[in-house]
């Protein structure tokens, strides 16, 4: 019975809770699932049911129930009528208090429980609301304190970074007024803080500001750009220049409105100086301090750049005449001093910023004239340069005269590329040089074409020796007294793949100019020496055939000349007396002891020395005594007048005089260019010793000489 009463009661409670839950749940915001919620309500329903039955009646449990419902977030205003409505309608029905409580008493209890529930609900909701609001406020306060703490720490960190930073930091308002700067920045400006702080960003212009610097700054100030970084110079407080890597950033507030401009500055003054020095070194010639090839081409390219460059351009390409002689005879140290002095004089000739002097290397200089007013401006400059170099240069107590040859190119900038312009000037310079030097020549295409041929030779010359393009021909030397072959002059030929066989006149000056003369001369000497050995055939009496080899002035400067010659003789196995070296008169004019030393050494060894082209230069005849020579080779011009009848008496007189003098000095006389028998006869009568010329034989292969000698030998 009791069990069944209890079961009935439990069943009733469950039904009530189900109805109650179904009514309230939709109006709640509880986190509980529906099942959890029904379970929760079941407990509350049990309490209410107890309260209905309890003796004495205590309505306070209604209040607890209200509080429990608030705790479960049944706080929607909709919820309360539903809560009460279900109690009112179903509580007594499903949870009757039993006989002990009469029906009207039960109804009254149910009513009072509802009143208490409503009161408890309201109180609890009020308390909870206040408690939550307070908890929230406390949380907000705590969060704010924490945020402020964090902010404070971040500020402290910021301060430390700001002040300790090795870069300068500045903050400016959007109007450019400086709000804050760190110590580093102040130090960088070399001033007191207020000097920097009292300024406005816009006061910080500098003449060397990069183009666009202030455009970018204005864009930042207008909020149109968020960042830029550049290299920027500033004036320090003392007026000196401070170079910086500047990075400017726009700082916006959370809504995106520009608020401040932040500048980070790194002092790169020293780095820049170093960079400038390196750049200077990379673009300037260490010896003369002039612009070097790199800078020259940079400037030239800039001037020739289509669109942005100059309208016209002028180039003076300049090469010293005879610089090599100075270098070879006086040594490189003097040569260098000379170049420095020349550089200074050239620099003094250029006056406008549109002109630049550069040293391209060796003794080659070039002056660029950007946008010359007229061609005459460039030629006038060339004249100025020639004039500037006219006065001798005094170096280490010596007066050195330097002359130069100048090639001028002048024309519209679009016409030539940098390399062609320079080449054209170079070729033109050669033309000036070929015309005797100490002058300028203007580029002209026809002359260029001719010069290019020469120039082509120059380019091919260095490799011609390796390629075996040279060969040697021999022209016999004949004793006038008896017509016997005494030897031959070795004459080098260049079998050029394009131009055919070229005589020494075509390329020896170039070989001299390029320095190739030394290896070429050595090669010729070796060939000649070997040939001389071959000529010493057995069965031929009389002194052995000799070979004459030309020595150019540059070879005389070459320190290896004597030992190499000795080696070549030894290698060939011939006596020094089988060799005669020919040196031109002009090479020996004014020659000093240094230049004569190798000749004296040759003479001591027993090598004959002939003074070639004698009579073409102005030799002090008396000075011939001092020269270690054994032979005079008379230039053909003296004997031309004897080729045909009537013989020129003046020529006869002169040659007679020379022969007398030579013999007095113990020198033999050789005559070049003998073309007729008449001529040969006259010369023999005049006492000349040997002769050479087409009358006897043209230059030819060595075998021809062999044949001649044999004829000669058999005829005597």
Partner 1 sequence: MVERPAWAPQGIDLSVPSVSRIYDYYLGGSHNFEADRDAGRRAMEAFPGLPKIMQANRAFMRRAVRYAVDQGVTQFLDIGSGIPTFGNVHEVAQAARPGATVVYVDHDPVAVAHSRAVLEGNERADIVSADLRSPRDILDSEPARRLLDLSRPVALLLIAVLHFLEDADEPSKSVAELRDALAPGSLLILTHASTDGGPRKPEEGDKVEGVYRNIGSPLIMRSRTEVERFFDGFEPVEPGVVAMPLWRPDGTDDEDDPVIYTGFAGVGRKA
Nearest to 238 by CA among 276, 163, 179, 188: 188
Based on the shown chain and the rule CB under 8 A, indicate whether residue 135 belongs to the binding site for partner 1: yes
Pick from 11, 146, 482, 604 the residue near partner 1 by CB under 8 A. 146
Number of H-type helices and E-type strands within the chain:
25, 21
Identify which of residues 31 and 166 has a Cβ nearer to partner 1 in the complex: 31
CB of 158 to partner 1, least distance (A): 6
CB of 227 to partner 1, least distance (A): 16
DSSP annotation of 242: E
Identify which of residues 158 and 280 has a Cβ nearer to partner 1 in the complex: 158
**How far is 504 from 520, CA to CA, in rounded Å?**
11
Identify which of residues 75 and 639 has a Cβ nearer to partner 1 in the complex: 75
Identify which of residues 249 and 329 has a Cβ nearer to partner 1 in the complex: 249
CB of 247 to partner 1, least distance (A): 16
Based on the shown chain and the rule CB under 8 A, indicate whether residue 161 belongs to the binding site for partner 1: no
Pick from 143, 273, 287, 390 the residue near partner 1 by CB under 8 A. 143
Angle, nearest 10°, between helix axes 445-464 and 418-434?
90
CB of 153 to partner 1, least distance (A): 11
Pick from 9, 58, 64, 71 the residue near partner 1 by CB under 8 A. 71
Identify which of residues 36 and 571 has a Cβ nearer to partner 1 in the complex: 36
Identify which of residues 182 and 552 has a Cβ nearer to partner 1 in the complex: 182
The torsion angles phi and psi of 471, rounded to 5 degrees, stand at -145, 165
Identify which of residues 194 and 498 has a Cβ nearer to partner 1 in the complex: 194
CB of 9 to partner 1, least distance (A): 23
Segment interacting with partner 1 (CB under 8 A) among 1-9, 80-88, 138-146, 482-490: 138-146
Identify which of residues 91 and 169 has a Cβ nearer to partner 1 in the complex: 169
Identify which of residues 256 and 468 has a Cβ nearer to partner 1 in the complex: 256
Identify which of residues 248 and 517 has a Cβ nearer to partner 1 in the complex: 248
Nearest to 592 by CA among 623, 555, 552: 623
Pick from 60, 144, 279, 332 the residue near partner 1 by CB under 8 A. 144
Identify which of residues 37 and 440 has a Cβ nearer to partner 1 in the complex: 37
Based on the shown chain and the rule CB under 8 A, indicate whether residue 1 belongs to the binding site for partner 1: no
669 forms beta bridges with 632
CB of 261 to partner 1, least distance (A): 10
In three-state secondary structure terms, 560 is coil
In three-state secondary structure terms, 404 is strand
Based on the shown chain and the rule CB under 8 A, indicate whether residue 9 belongs to the binding site for partner 1: no
Based on the shown chain and the rule CB under 8 A, indicate whether residue 76 belongs to the binding site for partner 1: yes
**How far is 95 from 283, CA to CA, in rounded Å?**
109
Identify which of residues 180 and 656 has a Cβ nearer to partner 1 in the complex: 180
Binding mask 262-291 for partner 1 (x = CB under 8 A): x-----------------------------
Based on the shown chain and the rule CB under 8 A, indicate whether residue 133 belongs to the binding site for partner 1: yes
User: Measured at the alpha carbon of residue 552, what is the angle toward residues 550 and 558, in degrees to the nearest 5?
Assistant: 120
**How far is 164 from 673, CA to CA, in rounded Å?**
93
Tokens of 437: 């030097």
DSSP annotation of 647: P
Phi-psi region of 398 (alpha: psi -120 to 50; beta: other; left: phi over 0): beta
Burial of 277 per CB tally in 10 Å (0-12, 13-18, 19+): exposed
Nearest to 559 by CA among 612, 522, 603, 511: 522
Pick from 132, 203, 226, 271 the residue near partner 1 by CB under 8 A. 132
Pick from 10, 103, 107, 136 the residue near partner 1 by CB under 8 A. 136
How many residues of this chain interact with partner 1, rule: CB under 8 A?
A: 47
The torsion angles phi and psi of 235, rounded to 5 degrees, stand at -85, 130
Instruction: Give the H/E segment covering residue 272.
Output: helix 269-283
Binding mask 467-496 for partner 1 (x = CB under 8 A): ------------------------------
Based on the shown chain and the rule CB under 8 A, indicate whether residue 227 belongs to the binding site for partner 1: no
**How far is 293 from 291, CA to CA, in rounded Å?**
7
**How far is 272 from 280, CA to CA, in rounded Å?**
12
Nearest to 363 by CA among 253, 303, 298, 287: 287
Pick from 49, 65, 75, 424 the residue near partner 1 by CB under 8 A. 75
CB of 165 to partner 1, least distance (A): 13
Pick from 93, 251, 570, 711 the residue near partner 1 by CB under 8 A. 251
Could you tell me if 145 and 111 are in contact, meaning their C-beta atoms sit under 8 angstroms apart?
A: no
| SS3 per-residue string spanning 65-109 | HHHHHHHCCCCCCCHHHHHHHHHHHHHHHHCCCCCCCCHHHHHHH
Binding mask 604-643 for partner 1 (x = CB under 8 A): ----------------------------------------
DSSP annotation of 17: H
CB of 48 to partner 1, least distance (A): 22
Identify which of residues 144 and 450 has a Cβ nearer to partner 1 in the complex: 144
**How far is 234 from 508, CA to CA, in rounded Å?**
61
Pick from 10, 93, 108, 151 the residue near partner 1 by CB under 8 A. 151
CB of 78 to partner 1, least distance (A): 11
Based on the shown chain and the rule CB under 8 A, indicate whether residue 214 belongs to the binding site for partner 1: no
Binding mask 18-47 for partner 1 (x = CB under 8 A): ----x--xx-xxxxxxxxx-x---------
CB of 124 to partner 1, least distance (A): 12
Q: Restricting to residues 446-465, which ones interact with partner 1 according to CB under 8 A?
A: none
CB of 251 to partner 1, least distance (A): 5
CB of 205 to partner 1, least distance (A): 25
Task: Say which residues have a Cβ less than 8 Å from residue 317's Cβ, sequence separation at least 6.
Answer: 364, 365, 366, 406, 407, 408, 409, 422, 425, 426, 428, 429
Segment interacting with partner 1 (CB under 8 A) among 7-15, 257-265, 352-360, 690-698: 257-265
Q: How far apart are the first and last CA of the chain?
A: 179
**How far is 294 from 275, CA to CA, in rounded Å?**
16
Based on the shown chain and the rule CB under 8 A, indicate whether residue 148 belongs to the binding site for partner 1: yes
Tokens of 186: 């102040």
- CA torsion 373-375-378-380 (nearest 10°) is -100
The Cα diameter of the chain in Å comes to 185
Binding mask 164-193 for partner 1 (x = CB under 8 A): -------x-------xx-------------
Could you tell me if 636 and 672 are in contact, meaning their C-beta atoms sit under 8 angstroms apart?
A: yes
**How far is 291 from 357, CA to CA, in rounded Å?**
6
Cα 522 to Cα 40, 128, 145, 339, 566, distances in angstroms:
122, 117, 97, 30, 11
Pick from 147, 282, 390, 685 the residue near partner 1 by CB under 8 A. 147
**How far is 702 from 234, CA to CA, in rounded Å?**
80
Pick from 5, 108, 140, 391 the residue near partner 1 by CB under 8 A. 140
Identify which of residues 72 and 708 has a Cβ nearer to partner 1 in the complex: 72
Identify which of residues 22 and 506 has a Cβ nearer to partner 1 in the complex: 22
Identify which of residues 144 and 373 has a Cβ nearer to partner 1 in the complex: 144
Footprint of partner 1 (CB under 8 A): 22, 25-26, 28-36, 38, 71-73, 75-76, 128-129, 132-133, 135-136, 138-144, 146-148, 151, 154-155, 158, 162, 171, 179-180, 251, 254, 259-260, 262
């Amino acid at each position: 019975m009791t069990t069944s009463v209890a079961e009935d009661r439990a069943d009733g409670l469950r039904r009530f809770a189900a109805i109650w839950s179904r009514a309230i749940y939709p109006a709640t915001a509880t986190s509980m699932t529906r099942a959890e919620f029904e379970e929760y309500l079941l407990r509350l329903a049990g309490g209410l049911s107890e309260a209905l039955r309890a003796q004495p009646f205590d309505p306070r449990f209604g209040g607890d129930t209200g509080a429990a419902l608030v705790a479960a977030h049944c706080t929607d205003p909709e919820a309360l009528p539903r809560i009460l409505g279900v109690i009112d309608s179903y509580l007594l029905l499903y949870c009757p208090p039993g006989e002990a409580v009469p029906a009207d008493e039960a109804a009254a209890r149910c009513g009072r429980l509802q009143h208490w529930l409503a009161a408890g609900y309201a109180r609890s909701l009020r308390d909870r609301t206040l408690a939550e609001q307070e908890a929230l406020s406390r949380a907000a306060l705590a969060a704010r304190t924490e945020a402020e703490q964090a902010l404070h720490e971040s500020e402290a960190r910021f301060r430390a970074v700001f002040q300790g930073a090795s870069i300068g930091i500045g903050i400016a308002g959007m109007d450019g007024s400086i709000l804050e700067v760190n110590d580093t920045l102040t130090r960088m400006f070399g001033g007191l803080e207020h000097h920097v702080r009292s300024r406005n960003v816009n006061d910080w212009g500098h003449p060397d500001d990069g183009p666009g610097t202030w455009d970018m700054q204005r864009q930042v100030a207008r909020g149109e750009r968020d960042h830029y970084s550049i290299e920027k110079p500033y004036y320090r407080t003392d007026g000196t220049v401070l170079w910086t890597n500047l990075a400017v950033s726009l700082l916006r507030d959370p809504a995106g409105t520009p608020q401040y401009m932040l500048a980070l500055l790194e002092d790169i003054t020293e780095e820049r100086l170093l960079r400038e020095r390196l750049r200077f070194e990379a673009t300037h010639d260490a010896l003369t301090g002039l612009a070097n090839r790199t800078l020259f081409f940079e400037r030239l390219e800039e001037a020739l750049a289509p669109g942005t460059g100059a309208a016209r351009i002028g180039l003076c390409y300049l090469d010293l005449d005879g610089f090599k002689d100075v270098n070879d005879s006086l040594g490189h140290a003097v040569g260098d001093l000379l170049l420095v002095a020349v550089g200074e004089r050239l620099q003094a000739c250029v006056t406008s910023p549109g002109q630049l002097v550069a040293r391209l290397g060796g003794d080659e200089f070039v002056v660029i004239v950007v946008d010359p007013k007229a061609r005459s401006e460039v030629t006038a400059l060339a004249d100025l340069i020639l004039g500037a170099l006219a006065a001798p240069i005094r170096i280490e107590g010596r007066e050195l005269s330097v002359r130069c040859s100048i090639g001028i190119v002048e024309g519209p900038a679009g016409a030539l590329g940098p390399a062609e312009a320079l080449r054209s000037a170079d070729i033109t310079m050669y033309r000036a040089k070929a015309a005797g030097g100490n002058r300028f020549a203007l580029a002209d295409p026809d002359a260029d074409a001719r010069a290019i041929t020469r120039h082509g030779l120059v380019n091919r010359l260095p490799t011609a020796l390796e390629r075996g393009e040279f060969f040697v021909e021999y022209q016999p030397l004949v004793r006038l007294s008896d017509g016997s072959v005494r030897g031959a002059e070795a004459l080098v030929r260049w079998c050029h793949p394009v131009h055919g066989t070229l005589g020494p006149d075509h390329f020896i000056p170039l070989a001299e100019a390029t320095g190739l003369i030394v290896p070429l001369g050595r090669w010729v000497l070796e060939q000649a020496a070997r040939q001389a050995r071959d000529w010493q055939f057995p069965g031929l009496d009389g002194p052995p055939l000799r070979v004459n080899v030309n020595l150019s002035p540059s070879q005389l400067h070459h320190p290896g000349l004597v030992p190499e010659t000795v080696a070549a003789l030894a290698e060939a196995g011939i006596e020094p007396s089988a060799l005669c070296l020919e040196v031109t008169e002009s090479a020996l004019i004014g020659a000093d002891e240094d230049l004569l030393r190798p000749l004296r050494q040759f003479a001591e060894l027993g090598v004959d020395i002939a003074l070639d082209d004698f009579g073409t230069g102005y030799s002090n005849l008396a000075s011939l005594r001092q020269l270690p020579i054994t032979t005079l080779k008379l230039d053909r011009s003296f004997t031309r007048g004897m080729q045909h009848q009537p013989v020129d008496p003046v020529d006869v007189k002169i040659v007679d005089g020379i022969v007398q003098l030579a013999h007095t000095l113990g020198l033999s006389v050789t005559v070049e260019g003998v073309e007729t028998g008449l001529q040969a006869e006259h010369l023999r009568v005049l006492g000349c010793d040997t002769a050479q010329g087409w009358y006897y034989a043209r230059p030819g292969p060595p075998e021809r000489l062999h044949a001649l000698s044999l004829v000669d030998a058999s005829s005597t």
